[in-house]
């Protein structure tokens, strides 16, 4: 009996010690998060310094349009200049983050638009945005990196220009609508291993290469009106809503292998200059190719289809296609 009690005493003591260490570790991690007000970040930028913040909670709205270095770039446009590097890692943003503002002027029909020009790298690595992120109309001269970041509200990167060669959105998770509409990316745009719980749109995007391998899209995907100078990779992925690859120009390979489409897929009026591969993919509903032009007959080996309507493929030699 004594041995049994001694055994349980040691066991309970060990568990108490273990949970004590776990509790201390958790408390340490929590206390390690610095509390910073958004206004402090703006003051750092106004002093002409790089922003480099790790393990912090940022309170209040972070509005980059409030930086002091501003210049009138057009009759109704103001450009905010941020020439230094912006770097956040393992940070939580409790307020909204924005790079664009539309201001109404008194006694004038024309509003003023404030846009932000980042002269260096912009990085939000493994961060958590609790409210909306509005990165619209921004210009980024360096690379753009949001790897492993969580977006909990509406997220927009519309009408932006990225001059860097690598824009990374690997392993992001977006819980609300996410858009990258009518933007220009000079280099590669990588969304590998990303998860989207709502609508995803790249409509009107111009980029070099777009990587969407191993992505999960719970609602619709819009790749319409795009100009892709390099390759599109959309392999090993799942799209539960409608998918639109219509009215776009793909000047290199399009790879959509082992991807599942659970609603309609539209390739209408798109121009495919390179080889299109859709091997081992599954299509629950209709595949529409009306008006689409292919240089070569697409590879569609071992595909699975619930809709037995024929897929009409129109091919033309490259020399006969006029590029507008």
Instruction: Tell me which DSSP letter residue 64 carries.
Output: G
Please calculate the CA angle 69-163-271 and round it to the nearest 5 degrees.
140
The beta-carbon contacts of 309-318 under 8 Å, at least 24 apart in sequence, are: 311/287, 313/289, 314/289, 318/273
Flag whether 210 is in a domain: yes
**Cα distance between residue 122 and residue 140, in whole Å:** 7
How big is the chain by its Cα radius of gyration, in Å?
Answer: 25
Element (H, E) at 118: strand 112-118
**Cα distance between residue 232 and residue 247, in whole Å:** 15
Confirm if 64 and 96 have CB atoms less than 8 A apart: no
Flag whether 72 is in a domain: yes
Q: How many CB atoms lie within 10 A of CB 228?
A: 24
pLDDT at 317: 62
The number of domains in the chain is: 1
Q: What is the pLDDT along the chain (324 residues), one digit of tens a residue?
A: 334 444 444 443 344 333 333 333 333 254 578 999 999 999 999 999 999 999 999 999 999 999 999 998 777 899 999 999 999 999 999 999 999 998 766 566 678 899 999 999 999 999 999 999 999 999 999 999 999 999 999 999 999 999 999 999 999 999 999 999 999 999 999 999 999 999 999 999 999 999 999 999 999 999 999 999 999 999 999 999 999 999 999 999 999 999 999 999 999 999 999 999 999 999 999 899 999 999 988 999 999 887 777 676 666 665 454 444
Flag whether 281 is in a domain: yes
**Cα distance between residue 155 and residue 116, in whole Å:** 17
Flag whether 119 is in a domain: yes
pLDDT at 13: 38
- Token pair for 32: 């390690």
**Cα distance between residue 138 and residue 10, in whole Å:** 61
**Cα distance between residue 174 and residue 27, in whole Å:** 28
Look up the domain containing 245 and give its range: 32-320
Flag whether 4 is in a domain: no
**Cα distance between residue 310 and residue 153, in whole Å:** 41
Flag whether 14 is in a domain: no
- Token pair for 258: 């082992």
> What is the residue whose two structure tokens read 């939580």?
92
pLDDT at 6: 46
Please calculate the CA angle 290-244-123 and round it to the nearest 5 degrees.
150
Flag whether 26 is in a domain: no
pLDDT at 107: 60
pTM of the full predicted structure?
0.85
The beta-carbon contacts of 168-171 under 8 Å, at least 24 apart in sequence, are: 168/143, 168/144, 169/194, 170/194, 171/147
DSSP β-bridge partners for residue 174: 151, 196
Instruction: Tell me which DSSP letter residue 299 carries.
Output: B
**Cα distance between residue 204 and residue 184, in whole Å:** 9
Flag whether 249 is in a domain: yes
- 30-53 b/e (C-beta count within 10 Å ≥ 16 → b): eeeeeebebeebbebbeeeeebeb
pLDDT at 21: 35
Q: Tell me the pLDDT tens digit for each residue of 66-89.
A: 999 999 877 789 999 999 999 999
């Amino acid at each position: 009996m004594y041995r049994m009690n001694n055994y349980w005493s040691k066991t309970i003591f060990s568990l108490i010690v273990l949970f004590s260490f776990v509790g201390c570790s958790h408390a340490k991690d929590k206390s390690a998060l610095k509390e910073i007000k958004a206004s402090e970040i703006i003051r750092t930028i106004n002093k002409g310094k790089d922003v480099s913040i790790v393990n912090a909670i940022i309170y209040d709205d972070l509005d980059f349009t409030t930086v002091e270095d501003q210049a009138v770039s057009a009759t109704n446009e103001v450009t905010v200049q941020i020439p230094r590097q912006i770097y956040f890692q393992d940070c939580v943003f409790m307020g909204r983050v924005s790079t664009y503002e539309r201001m109404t002027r008194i006694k004038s029909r024309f509003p003023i638009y404030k846009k932000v020009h980042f002269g260096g790298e912009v990085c939000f690595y493994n961060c958590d945005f609790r409210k909306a992120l509005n990165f619209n109309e921004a210009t980024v001269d360096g690379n753009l990196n949001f790897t492993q970041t969580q977006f909990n509200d509406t997220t927009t990167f519309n009408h932006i220009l990225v001059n860097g060669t690598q824009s990374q959105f690997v392993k992001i998770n977006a819980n609300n609508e996410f858009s990258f509409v009518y933007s220009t990316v000079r280099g590669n745009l990588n969304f590998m291993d990303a998860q989207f719980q709502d609508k995803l749109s790249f409509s009107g995007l111009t980029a070099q290469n777009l990587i969407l391998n191993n992505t999960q899209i719970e609602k619709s995907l819009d790749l319409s009106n795009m100009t892709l100078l390099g390759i599109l990779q959309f392999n090993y992925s799942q799209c539960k809503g409608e998918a639109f690859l219509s009215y776009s120009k793909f000047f290199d390979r399009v790879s959509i292998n082992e991807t599942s489409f659970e609603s309609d897929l539209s390739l209408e009026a798109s121009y495919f200059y390179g080889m299109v591969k859709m091997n081992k993919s599954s299509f629950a509903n209709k595949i529409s190719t009306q008006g689409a032009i292919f240089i070569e007959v697409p590879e569609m080996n071992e595909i699975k289809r619930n809709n037995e309507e024929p897929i009409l493929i129109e091919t033309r030699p490259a020399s006969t296609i006029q590029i507008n």
